[in-house]
Structure 1
Amino acid sequence: MSTPNPTQADHGTTAPRAFIAPAQLMNWNDLPREKMRPGIERAGFGGDHVLCQFAWVQPGATLRPHSHDFDQLVVVVEGECIFHVGGVPHACRPGSLLRVPPHTEHYIEVVGDKPVFEIDLFAPVREDYAHLMDHQREPAA
């Protein structure tokens, strides 16, 4: 049974999501990927109230400073990069954990010639990224 997400004052309303089962097991290597822009692919996995975005960022990928109205937690799994957050560079390597505060401009810059694989956590689910979980939904009856 799906529970609707509450309205978020600074994030908009999210629609109820219907998932296949109370628990789901998948491998991030098997998730359908979406090309975000040149040099960046992403995939998603989540539930009614949280989204895990998996991002593969190539050296030389286009930098795009941006901000949003919610926290973003970042886990660097592979590669080295600099996360620029609020004008401050943060050198990251595998195992690095970073919190990007709301309303703070940020972007990733790959260091060296190896791609970066990182995981972003968003709660509540970003409405503009919710489609990344479509592969988890129950088929229409």
Structure 2
Amino acid sequence: MSEPKIEHWDEAKDGVLNAENMMNKLQKEGYSCTQYTFTPGTTFSDHSHGVSKKDAIISGEFQFTIYGKTIVLHPGDTVEVPKGTVHSAEVVGKNSVVFIDAS
């Protein structure tokens, strides 16, 4: 079984964490980006995508299950989601999640 591939924001290299800087970083990696805000209690049941993508967290906490492992993503974290990989997610805590969908 594969392991989740998570990257953490490096302020020394990437600058201050904000949506604009995260999108710039992801666009330099070749991704197109869309920003969303998910309110507390938002859940996404098991699903997959027809393209490989990265999910990035700007604020809030996002519980993410992939490859049978559950992790909590924090601000500045990104996770790779390969094409066709089943995963699920939910907003945890009392704060909304600002989320960048990069595909």
Identity %: 32
Bigger CA radius of gyration: 1
Of 86, 94, 115, 2:96 maps to 115
Q: Distance in 2 between matches of 1:103 and 1:88?
A: 17
User: Paired residue for 1:86?
Assistant: 67
> RMSD across aligned C-alpha pairs, in angstroms?
2.0
CA distance in 1, matches of 2:61, 2:43: 16
Code of the residue aligned with 1:57 in structure 2: it is F
TM-score if structure 1 supplies the norm length?
A: 0.48
In the alignment of these two chains, the number of paired residues is: 76
Question: What residue is the counterpart of 1:135 in the other structure?
Answer: none
Higher strand proportion, which one? Answer: 2
Give, in whole Å, the separation in 2 of the partners of 1:95 and 1:102: 22
Distance 2:101 2:46 in 1: 16
Bigger mean CA deviation after superposition, 60-69 or 72-81:
60-69
Gaps of 5+ in 1: 1-27, 29-45, 123-141
SS across alignment from 1:65: strand
Please state which structure has a larger fraction of its residues in helix: 2
The CA distance in 2 between the partners of 1:55 and 1:107, in whole Å, is 16
Matched, 1:72 2:28: no
